[in-house]
Amino acid sequence: MKIAVASSNGEDVDHFGKAQAFMIYEFDEENVHFIEKRESTKIKGEKHQWQKSLDDIGDCEVVICAQAGLKGKFGLKNAGIKLVEDEGSVDEVLDRFINHYKFMKKPLF
């Protein structure tokens, strides 16, 4: 699955609609690999640009961001992209998501 992490500087996780870039990763349920940094098509400082963020990550299955506005959440849901809201560094939130995903896939018995 492709995972997008909202981050303007490549280190800290940003708000979905304000991020100037997305770090794109491929996760095969075992290993995660960095693919690319996608610069956003948004105009810096302009508000309500969630659709541009959605266009930037349309091929991803999951987006991790600090938060998203109501319209952004609605757009992500309609696009079939899972929203994960978390704060911290890109590495921290990605590790938490991967660890949680692996934990939830383990059989109970």
Task: Tell me the pairing of strands 82-85 and 62-65.
Answer: parallel
Q: Given pLDDT bands bounded at 50, 70 and 90, which one contains residue 43?
A: confident
Residue type, 33: H
Homologous superfamily (CATH) of 2-105 is Dinitrogenase iron-molybdenum cofactor biosynthesis domain (3.30.420.130)
Which residues partner with 6 through β-bridges? Answer: 22
More confident residue, 93 or 41: 93
Tell me the pLDDT band of 73, cut-offs 50, 70 and 90: very high
**Could you tell me if 45 and 25 are in contact, meaning their C-beta atoms sit under 8 angstroms apart?**
no
DSSP 23: E
* 83 — pLDDT class (breaks 50, 70, 90): very high
Backbone angles phi, psi at 54, to 5 degrees: -60, -40
Specify the pLDDT at position 14.
95
* Total Cβ atoms within 10 A of residue 84: 16
Residue 47 has a pLDDT of 74
